[in-house]
Amino acid sequence: MQYMLLIYDTEGSLAALSEAERNAFMGEYFSYTEALRGAGKFVAGDALQPTATATSVRLRGGERLVTDGPFAETKEQLGGYYLIEAESLDEALEWAAKIPSARLGTIEVRPVMVYG
């Protein structure tokens, strides 16, 4: 089954780190991604640009409404994701706990609904 691991943290959390700490943190991400690939669990994953680059679209009464910025103002923002293949929710939770940002924010784990 596929699971989406949604990575939420505050956008300023990485900026608060020194350059050496930031490089070490990103190194952990590269190692984590390689571990997923090596285990045959990696399907996809990417980081997202900051929320300042977001544009939200709504359709109301047949009219398209476009707003600069994220959908919701929240304390933590969606910063990236991994799509993984896991045998169970427990396995997906184990992988989620290994994401470096789990120490700074929240990792939301959701099963992917497959149609067809």
Domains of the chain: 2-49+75-111 (3.30.70.1060)
The model's pLDDT over 25-69, given as tens digits with 9 standing for 90+, comes to 999 999 999 999 999 999 999 999 988 899 989 999 999 999 987
Q: What pLDDT shows up at residue 72?
A: 67
- List Cα–Cα distances, 70 to 13, 20, 23, 82, in angstroms: 18, 30, 27, 20
Confidence grade of residue 14 (pLDDT, cut at 50, 70, 90): confident
* Token duo for residue 102: 């789990």
CA dihedral 27, 28, 31, 33 (to 10 degrees): -110
CA–CA dist 93, 36 (Å, integer): 13
pTM confidence score: 0.89
Confidence grade of residue 12 (pLDDT, cut at 50, 70, 90): confident
CA–CA dist 11, 47 (Å, integer): 12
| Mean pLDDT calculated for residue range 10-31 | 91
**31: how many CB neighbours lie within 10 A of its CB?**
12
The model's pLDDT over 67-88, given as tens digits with 9 standing for 90+, comes to 987 666 777 889 999 999 999 9
